[in-house]
Amino acid sequence: MSDFIKFLGTAGARYVVTRQMRSSAGLWCSLNGLNMLIDPGPGTLARCFSVNPELEPDKLDAIILTHRHIDHSTDLNIMVEAMTGGALYHKGLVLLPGDALLDEPVLYRYLREIAGQVIVLKEGQSYQLGKEVLLTTPVKHEHSVETYGVKLQTPQINLSLIADTNPFHGIADYYMGEILILNVVLYKPAKHKWVQHLDLESACKIIKEVNPQLAVLTHFGHTMLKNCPWQISQRLTRELGIEIVAAYDGYQIDLSRFYSKN
């Protein structure tokens, strides 16, 4: 298959995840010969074999965790086992924030020895994945645990994922590129300070500032789903003049269509 991004799951927030109103599996990215999995939440392993065509976990080169929360990390250990061929092969990268390895580690200790390498993500750092893929965690997010968004850069394309966060000044500057993926949990701003997620209005401001070729909304909470994200994305595309898509479980982006533009 050509380079692509597949949304194995698009659920966000506890209500949607625990009721499986949407799948809570991760985001698979195949880029310049590398297979990367981001945020393997509940059900990721099963989803790899239920999508068409199937995705083969033992072909993974890297697993990336934006933060330790359960809807992002539940299948981390089984996916590391799958990446290593059932713990038979010493291979693959696991990249995750430092607090994911502390008192209540979300990565089992024995798997740290089985994976090819475990890399602790830090703010403003870049990591070379293969020959032509550069992963950057440009800024620490405002979230209840250590959290980083992800930029993936190749000679052909720049794509970004804004993971869970409060909106904060200057966030768009860190995520410029052709493709922008945003975790939009809330339809309206949160009433409580402890709810640290993007709402739709904040996401729109970021999209306008970044001005990508494609913006993808995902990681929906209950209020977003009630308001029909596919209709929201159609309206925003007309209003902003930017292609905006509301991801659904199994949604796939063929990256080759962007290569010809660059």
38 φ/ψ angles, rounded to the nearest 5 degrees: -115, 130
pLDDT category of residue 183 using cuts at 50, 70 and 90: very high
pLDDT category of residue 111 using cuts at 50, 70 and 90: very high
**Residue 120 is assigned to a structural domain of this protein:** yes
pLDDT of the residue at 195: 72
Q: What mean pLDDT value characterizes the chain?
A: 96
**Residue 202 is assigned to a structural domain of this protein:** yes
Strands (E), 65-200: 91-97, 115-121, 125-129, 133-137, 150-153, 158-162, 179-186, 198-199
pLDDT of the residue at 262: 62
pLDDT by residue (tens digit) across 13-68?
899 999 999 999 999 999 999 999 999 999 999 999 999 999 999 999 999 999 99
Segment 199-214 mean pLDDT: 98
Domain count along the chain? 1
Q: What CATH number did the domain enclosing 63 receive?
A: 3.60.15.10
**Residue 260 is assigned to a structural domain of this protein:** no
The answer for residues whose C-beta is within 8 angstroms of residue 140's C-beta and 6 or more apart is 123, 146, 147, 148
Segment 141-162 mean pLDDT: 97
Segment 82-108 mean pLDDT: 96
Which one has a higher pLDDT value, 177 or 195? 177
- Domain range for 87 is 4-255
- Cis peptide bond N-terminal to 53, omega within 30: yes
**Residue 262 is assigned to a structural domain of this protein:** no
**Residue 56 is assigned to a structural domain of this protein:** yes
**Residue 261 is assigned to a structural domain of this protein:** no
pLDDT of the residue at 260: 73
**Residue 77 is assigned to a structural domain of this protein:** yes
For residues 60 and 30, the answer to whether their CB atoms sit within 8 Å is no
pLDDT of the residue at 131: 92
How far apart are alpha carbons 105 and 113 in whole angstroms?
14
pLDDT of the residue at 190: 78
The answer for residues whose C-beta is within 8 angstroms of residue 100's C-beta and 6 or more apart is 65, 67, 68, 73, 106, 107, 146
